Amino acid sequence: MATQVPSAPLTQLTAWKALESHYQQVKDLSLRTLFAEDPKRGERFSLEAVGIYLDYSKNRITEETLRLLLQLAEESGLRQHIDAMFRGDKINVTENRAVLHTALRAPRGADIQVDGRNVVPEVHEVLDRMAAFSDRVRSGEWKGFTGKRIRNVVNIGIGGSDLGPVMAYEALRHYSRRDMVFRFVSNVDGTDFAEATIDLDPEETLFIISSKTFTTLETMTNAQTAREWSLKKLGDPKAVAKHFVAVSTNAAEVSKFGIDTANMFGFWDWVGGRYSMDSAIGLSTMLAIGPDNFRKMLAGFREMDEHFRTAPFEKNLPVLMGLLTVWYADFFGAETVAVLPYDQYLKRFPAYLQQLTMESNGKSVTLGGARVDYQTGAIFWGEPGTNGQHSFYQLIHQGTHLIPCDFLGFAKTLNPLGNHHDLLMANVFAQGEALAFGKTPEQVKAEGTPDWLVPHRVFEGNRPSNTLLLEKLTPEALGKLVALYEHSVFTQGVIWQINSFDQWGVELGKVLAKNIISELEGKGEGKHDSSTSALIARYQKLKG
C-alpha cells in the first residue's frame, strides 16, 4: 500500500502557509543585496556530495526559505515516501505497481522484496546475460547470418525505450567502440528508419527491439520494417535469430514477433519506461561502452541512490533541487526550467529530462483523485552551452519570464584542444553571474551609453540558477546525474501529492490515432468534429 502521508492537502500544510507569507517578504529581495550582505553566501548555499558540487546560492532564497522548504518536505512525509519507494511498496497506486528503478543498480547481495520475492538476483542474472551477449558481439564471436561480424547496432524504441539509450550513447561516446556504428530509430515517420539504415549492410546489422510492452505502435511498425529490410537481403527468416534481439517485459509478444525468447533481455513492471535506461533497455549502451563501463555507470546511480536515501534533507542534492523547483513553480509562478549542459556530449540530456520530468510530474490530480489548486510539473527544456547563448538566452536575460536555470559543467574535458575548455567554462560561470547580478542603469550610463539606449542595455538580474560542477564526464558521473534528476522529480511529486509514475495522459491520443488509421486505410468512416473531419478529408485528397 502507498504510504498515506501527509494527512492534509498541500495548501493546508503549516509549512505551505508559512511559505506563502514568507514569499511576500522575500519576493523583491535581490541577489545583489543578498550577496552584498553575506560575503560567504556562495559557500554557505552550496553543497558537495558524491562528487557533485551544487552551488545553489544564486537562488532567490534566504536561510528562512530553506528552513520552510525543508519543513514542507517533512510535513509532506518525504522521508516515509523515500523509504516506501526503496522498500518496494506499491507507490504507483494507479497501476498498483512498485517503483524500483533503484533495484536495477542494487549490489548483488541486496534483498529487495516485491510480492514476497527478492528481485535482486533476477536483476543481476539479466545484467550477466547482457554482459555475455555484449562481449560476444564486441569481440566478433557473435556472427550475422552470413558469417560476417556485427558492425552496426540499431536500437528501435520510443520514449523511455529510446531517449535514455540515445542520451547515454551520446553522453558516453568517448568511451564507446569507434569501429561500430550505433543508430536509434524511434519515430513512426518512415524517414527515421530510412535515414538510420541508408548506409548500413543488413549482413552486419543487429537490431535491438526495445519496448517494455512490445505493443507500442511506433516500435512495432519500425520493427516490422527492420525485419523486411533485413530479410530482403538475407532471404531466410532464420536470419532473424542472428540479427534481432528484444528488450521487453512481454515474452509472449516477443515470440509472436518471431524473436526467440533466448534472445530476449527482460525487465519488470516495477521499472517505469522513463526510469529504465539502466535496465536491459540499456543494452545498446552496454554494447557501445562495454560491460565494465556499464557497471561503473550503475555504481554512479547507486551512489546517488544511497545519498538520497540517507543524507539529511538539508545536505541532500535531489531534495534541495526538487524543493527549489517547487519554490519557483508555485510561489514565483515560473513555468519552465532550463537545463543547460556545458558539455557537447550531453546534447541529448535535456530531451531525456523532458520525458523524465514532464511525463512524471505533468499531472493535475492528487493521489487521492482531487484536482490540484497549485502548479505541478514545470516544463523542462534546454540545449548545450554555448549554443543556447546565441539563440534563446536573450529571453532568459531580458525577457518577461522568470526561468530558473540548471547549469552543468565539468572541470576536465575529454577532448583537450587548445584553450577551448577554459573558454567553455568561462562562459558557464559568466552566464550564472550575469543572470544573478545583471547590469544596472548606472553601470550602463557610466559606459557612456546615451540615455535613450540605457533601458535596452540594462540587465535586471535577479534571475536564479543552480550550477552543478563535476570533475569529468565519466560513466559514473552520468549515473549520478541521471539519478539526481530522478530523485529530484520524485521529491517534487511527493510535495505535489501526485503520482509521478503513471502516464495516463498519453493514452487518449493513441486510441484516437488507431481509429483514424482504420479510416485512412479505408476501413469505415469515423465520427469527428468538423475540424478533424476536414483535415482527414483534405489529407486523403492531397495524397491522391
| Cα 282–Cα 283–Cα 285 angle in degrees, nearest 5 | 65
Residues in the chain: 544
Q: How far is 51 from 30, CA to CA, in rounded Å? A: 30
**Of residues 65 and 161, the one with the C-beta less far from ligand F6P:** 161
- Do 335 and 401 touch, CB atoms closer than 8 A? yes
Beta carbon of residue 250, minimum distance to ligand F6P (angstroms, whole number): 8
Question: Considering beta carbons, is residue 398 or 515 the nearer one to ligand F6P?
Answer: 515
Pair 261, 254: CB distance under 8 Å: yes
Question: Within its chain, how far is the Cα of 173 from the centroid?
Answer: 18
Nearer to ligand F6P (CB atom), residue 158 or residue 234:
158
6, 62, 9, 4: which is closest to 31 by C-alpha? 62
176 vs 210, which CB is nearer to ligand F6P? Answer: 210
Question: Which residue's CB comes closest to ligand F6P?
Answer: 273
Instruction: By CB under 6 A, name the binding residues for ligand F6P.
Output: 158-161, 211-213, 216, 219, 273-274, 359, 503, 506
Catalytic-residue membership of 510: yes
- CB 139 to ligand F6P: min, Å: 29
Active site residue 487: no
Of the candidates 17, 233, 510, 523, the residue annotated as catalytic is 510
The string over 327-363, giving b where at least 16 C-beta atoms fall within 10 Å of a residue's C-beta and e elsewhere, is bbbbbeebebbbbbbbbbbbbbbbbbbbbbbbbbbbb
By beta-carbon proximity to ligand F6P, the closer residue of 154 and 408 is 154
- Sequence-ordered list of residues with C-beta below 8 angstroms from that of 74, at least 6 positions apart, any chain: 15, 313
Backbone dihedral angles phi then psi of residue 380, each to the nearest 5 degrees:
-100, 140
Q: Which is nearer to ligand F6P, 118 or 213 (CB)?
A: 213
* CB of residue 505 to ligand F6P, shortest distance in Å: 9
CA 98/CA 112 separation, integer angstroms: 11
Residues 422-435 as b or e (16 or more Cβ within 10 Å = b): eebbebbeebbebb
Catalytic residue among 359, 383, 476, 486: 359
Q: Which residues contact 139 (CB under 8 A, 6 or more apart)?
A: none
Q: Is 359 in the active site?
A: yes
We find the least distance from the C-beta atom of residue 354 to ligand F6P, in angstroms, to be 12
Query: Shortest distance, CB of residue 398 to ligand F6P, whole angstroms?
Result: 37
Q: Which listed residue (40, 141, 228, 390) is catalytic?
A: 390
Closest CA to 295 of 472, 141, 175, 470: 175
Q: Which residues are within 8 A (CB) of 274 and not within 5 positions of it... i.e. 6 or more apart?
A: 159, 160, 163, 164, 355, 356, 359, 360
> Is the Cβ of residue 229 or residue 501 nearer to ligand F6P in the bound state?
501
Q: How far is the CB of 448 from ligand F6P (least distance, A)?
A: 56
86 Cβ contact list (under 8 Å, min separation 6): 102, 112, 305, 309
Q: Shortest gap between Cβ of 355 and ligand F6P (angstroms)?
A: 7
Element (H, E) at 19: helix 14-26
Residues forming the active site: 359, 390, 510
